[in-house]
Protein backbone atom coordinates (compact mmCIF):
# COMPACT_ATOMS: atom_id res chain seq x y z
CA UNK A 1 0.00 0.00 0.00
CA UNK A 2 1.19 3.48 -0.84
CA UNK A 3 1.45 5.75 2.19
CA UNK A 4 1.76 9.46 1.43
CA UNK A 5 2.48 11.97 4.17
CA UNK A 6 1.73 15.45 2.91
CA UNK A 7 2.72 18.91 4.09
CA UNK A 8 6.42 18.23 4.64
CA UNK A 9 8.36 21.38 5.55
CA UNK A 10 11.46 20.14 7.39
CA UNK A 11 14.27 17.89 6.19
CA UNK A 12 14.72 16.10 9.50
CA UNK A 13 11.02 15.25 9.64
CA UNK A 14 11.00 14.13 6.01
CA UNK A 15 13.89 11.78 6.68
CA UNK A 16 12.29 10.39 9.85
CA UNK A 17 8.94 9.85 8.13
CA UNK A 18 10.58 8.08 5.21
CA UNK A 19 12.52 5.88 7.60
CA UNK A 20 9.31 4.96 9.43
CA UNK A 21 7.81 3.68 6.18
CA UNK A 22 6.26 6.42 4.07
CA UNK A 23 6.53 5.74 0.36
CA UNK A 24 5.65 9.30 -0.71
CA UNK A 25 6.24 12.78 0.68
CA UNK A 26 4.06 15.72 -0.35
CA UNK A 27 5.17 19.35 -0.56
CA UNK A 28 2.57 22.12 -0.68
CA UNK A 29 3.26 24.60 -3.49
CA UNK A 30 0.16 26.73 -2.82
CA UNK A 31 1.26 30.12 -1.36
CA UNK A 32 -1.99 30.61 0.59
CA UNK A 33 -1.53 27.35 2.50
CA UNK A 34 -0.09 27.35 6.04
CA UNK A 35 2.03 24.37 4.88
CA UNK A 36 3.49 26.22 1.89
CA UNK A 37 7.16 25.64 1.17
CA UNK A 38 9.33 27.56 -1.26
CA UNK A 39 11.09 26.09 -4.27
CA UNK A 40 14.41 26.50 -2.47
CA UNK A 41 13.23 24.60 0.61
CA UNK A 42 11.69 21.79 -1.42
CA UNK A 43 14.92 21.39 -3.34
CA UNK A 44 16.97 21.35 -0.14
CA UNK A 45 14.75 18.69 1.45
CA UNK A 46 14.78 16.46 -1.63
CA UNK A 47 18.56 16.69 -1.95
CA UNK A 48 19.01 15.95 1.74
CA UNK A 49 16.78 12.86 1.97
CA UNK A 50 18.57 9.68 3.02
CA UNK A 51 15.78 7.36 1.89
CA UNK A 52 14.34 6.73 -1.54
CA UNK A 53 10.77 8.04 -1.65
CA UNK A 54 8.52 9.66 -4.22
CA UNK A 55 8.37 13.43 -3.79
CA UNK A 56 5.16 15.07 -5.00
CA UNK A 57 4.39 18.77 -5.36
CA UNK A 58 0.83 19.86 -4.57
CA UNK A 59 -0.54 22.68 -6.74
CA UNK A 60 -3.94 24.33 -7.10
CA UNK A 61 -5.31 26.37 -10.00
CA UNK A 62 -1.98 27.58 -11.32
CA UNK A 63 -0.44 27.43 -14.79
CA UNK A 64 1.31 24.60 -16.60
CA UNK A 65 4.35 26.85 -16.97
CA UNK A 66 4.59 27.50 -13.23
CA UNK A 67 4.22 23.83 -12.37
CA UNK A 68 6.90 22.86 -14.88
CA UNK A 69 9.23 25.53 -13.56
CA UNK A 70 8.85 24.27 -9.98
CA UNK A 71 9.30 20.63 -10.98
CA UNK A 72 12.46 21.43 -12.93
CA UNK A 73 13.93 23.54 -10.13
CA UNK A 74 13.27 21.03 -7.34
CA UNK A 75 13.49 17.54 -8.82
CA UNK A 76 9.93 16.62 -7.84
CA UNK A 77 8.94 13.26 -9.29
CA UNK A 78 5.23 13.99 -9.48
CA UNK A 79 2.48 16.59 -9.36
CA UNK A 80 -0.78 16.59 -7.40
CA UNK A 81 -3.48 18.93 -8.66
CA UNK A 82 -5.78 19.96 -5.83
CA UNK A 83 -7.84 22.73 -7.42
CA UNK A 84 -10.44 22.88 -10.17
CA UNK A 85 -8.19 21.60 -12.92
CA UNK A 86 -10.06 20.15 -15.90
CA UNK A 87 -9.17 16.92 -17.71
CA UNK A 88 -7.98 19.12 -20.57
CA UNK A 89 -5.59 20.96 -18.27
CA UNK A 90 -4.30 17.65 -16.92
CA UNK A 91 -3.68 16.44 -20.46
CA UNK A 92 -1.70 19.60 -21.25
CA UNK A 93 0.38 19.05 -18.14
CA UNK A 94 0.98 15.41 -19.07
CA UNK A 95 2.30 16.50 -22.45
CA UNK A 96 4.65 18.98 -20.75
CA UNK A 97 5.80 16.53 -18.07
CA UNK A 98 5.54 13.11 -19.75
CA UNK A 99 7.82 11.35 -17.27
CA UNK A 100 6.23 12.72 -14.10
CA UNK A 101 3.33 11.18 -12.20
CA UNK A 102 0.13 13.24 -12.18
CA UNK A 103 -2.39 12.85 -9.35
CA UNK A 104 -5.77 14.59 -9.48
CA UNK A 105 -7.40 15.33 -6.14
CA UNK A 106 -11.19 15.44 -6.00
CA UNK A 107 -12.95 16.99 -3.03
CA UNK A 108 -15.98 14.76 -2.64
CA UNK A 109 -19.08 16.74 -1.77
CA UNK A 110 -21.69 14.45 -3.37
CA UNK A 111 -21.81 11.11 -5.15
CA UNK A 112 -21.78 13.05 -8.42
CA UNK A 113 -18.16 13.96 -7.73
CA UNK A 114 -17.28 10.27 -7.96
CA UNK A 115 -19.06 9.98 -11.31
CA UNK A 116 -17.12 12.96 -12.58
CA UNK A 117 -13.86 11.21 -11.76
CA UNK A 118 -14.27 9.09 -14.89
CA UNK A 119 -13.44 12.09 -17.05
CA UNK A 120 -9.84 12.02 -15.80
CA UNK A 121 -9.22 8.40 -16.84
CA UNK A 122 -6.99 9.29 -19.79
CA UNK A 123 -5.23 12.35 -18.42
CA UNK A 124 -3.83 11.43 -14.98
CA UNK A 125 -2.14 8.46 -13.32
CA UNK A 126 -3.96 8.40 -10.00
CA UNK A 127 -6.89 9.98 -8.17
CA UNK A 128 -7.00 11.25 -4.61
CA UNK A 129 -10.35 11.50 -2.85
CA UNK A 130 -10.46 14.18 -0.18
CA UNK A 131 -13.16 15.67 2.02
CA UNK A 132 -14.95 18.77 0.77
CA UNK A 133 -14.47 22.06 2.58
CA UNK A 134 -16.00 25.32 1.31
CA UNK A 135 -12.88 27.44 1.82
CA UNK A 136 -9.90 25.11 2.29
CA UNK A 137 -8.39 22.86 -0.37
CA UNK A 138 -6.98 20.22 1.96
CA UNK A 139 -5.42 19.45 5.31
CA UNK A 140 -8.68 20.32 7.04
CA UNK A 141 -8.93 17.26 9.29
CA UNK A 142 -12.45 16.72 7.98
CA UNK A 143 -13.31 13.08 7.30
CA UNK A 144 -14.96 11.80 4.15
CA UNK A 145 -18.21 9.87 4.37
CA UNK A 146 -16.58 6.49 3.86
CA UNK A 147 -19.94 4.80 3.28
CA UNK A 148 -20.31 6.91 0.12
CA UNK A 149 -17.19 5.24 -1.26
CA UNK A 150 -18.11 1.64 -0.49
CA UNK A 151 -19.47 1.01 -3.99
CA UNK A 152 -16.98 3.24 -5.77
CA UNK A 153 -15.51 1.50 -8.80
CA UNK A 154 -12.50 3.63 -9.70
CA UNK A 155 -11.27 4.09 -13.22
CA UNK A 156 -7.75 4.60 -11.88
CA UNK A 157 -5.68 3.72 -8.82
CA UNK A 158 -6.70 5.98 -5.94
CA UNK A 159 -5.60 7.38 -2.62
CA UNK A 160 -7.93 7.89 0.32
CA UNK A 161 -7.47 11.22 2.13
CA UNK A 162 -9.55 13.45 4.36
CA UNK A 163 -9.20 13.43 8.13
CA UNK A 164 -7.29 10.16 8.42
CA UNK A 165 -5.45 9.61 11.71
CA UNK A 166 -3.69 6.73 13.47
CA UNK A 167 -6.89 6.31 15.50
CA UNK A 168 -9.30 5.88 12.57
CA UNK A 169 -7.14 4.35 9.84
CA UNK A 170 -8.12 0.79 10.73
CA UNK A 171 -11.82 1.66 10.57
CA UNK A 172 -11.35 3.35 7.19
CA UNK A 173 -9.44 0.45 5.67
CA UNK A 174 -11.89 -2.09 7.03
CA UNK A 175 -14.54 -0.49 4.80
CA UNK A 176 -12.52 0.53 1.77
CA UNK A 177 -9.72 -0.83 -0.39
CA UNK A 178 -7.80 2.17 -1.73
CA UNK A 179 -4.44 1.77 -3.42
CA UNK A 180 -2.96 4.07 -0.83
CA UNK A 181 -3.64 6.62 1.88
CA UNK A 182 -2.73 10.28 2.32
CA UNK A 183 -2.37 11.97 5.70
CA UNK A 184 -1.45 15.50 6.69
CA UNK A 185 -3.23 17.14 9.64
CA UNK A 186 -3.85 13.75 11.27
CA UNK A 187 -0.13 13.37 12.01
CA UNK A 188 0.69 16.98 12.93
CA UNK A 189 1.25 19.13 15.99
CA UNK A 190 0.49 22.23 13.90
CA UNK A 191 0.32 22.89 10.13
CA UNK A 192 3.61 21.77 8.60
CA UNK A 193 5.04 20.45 11.88
CA UNK A 194 4.69 16.68 11.89
CA UNK A 195 4.26 14.68 15.07
CA UNK A 196 6.65 11.77 14.62
CA UNK A 197 5.01 9.82 17.45
CA UNK A 198 1.73 9.92 15.54
CA UNK A 199 3.47 8.88 12.33
CA UNK A 200 5.06 5.95 14.17
CA UNK A 201 1.66 5.02 15.61
CA UNK A 202 0.19 5.05 12.09
CA UNK A 203 2.73 2.55 10.81
CA UNK A 204 2.31 0.37 13.89
CA UNK A 205 -1.41 0.18 13.14
CA UNK A 206 -0.78 -0.66 9.49
CA UNK A 207 1.74 -3.37 10.30
CA UNK A 208 -0.34 -4.97 13.05
CA UNK A 209 -3.64 -4.94 11.18
CA UNK A 210 -2.61 -5.39 7.56
CA UNK A 211 0.66 -7.32 7.81
CA UNK A 212 2.38 -4.62 5.81
CA UNK A 213 6.15 -4.67 5.73
CA UNK A 214 8.07 -1.43 5.48
131/9: higher pLDDT: 9
Please state the φ and ψ torsions of residue 80, each to the nearest 5 degrees: -110, 125
33/37 Cα distance (integer angstroms): 9
Biggest CA pair distance of the chain: 44
Per-residue pLDDT tens over the stretch 39-74: 999 999 999 999 899 999 999 999 999 999 999 999
Neighbours of 89 (CB within 10 A): 17
Q: What percent of the chain has pLDDT over 90?
A: 77
Q: Look at phi and psi of residue 75 and say left if phi exceeds 0, alpha if psi is from -120 to 50, else beta.
A: left
The pLDDT of residue 126 is above 60: yes
Q: Spell out the CATH class of 2-209.
A: alpha beta
Amino acid sequence: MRVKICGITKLEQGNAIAQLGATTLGFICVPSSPRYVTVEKISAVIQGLDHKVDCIGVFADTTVAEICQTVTATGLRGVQLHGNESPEFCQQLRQSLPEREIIKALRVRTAQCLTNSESYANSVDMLLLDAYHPTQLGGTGKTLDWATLKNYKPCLPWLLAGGLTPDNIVDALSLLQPDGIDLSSGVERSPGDKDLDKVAQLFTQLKENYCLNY
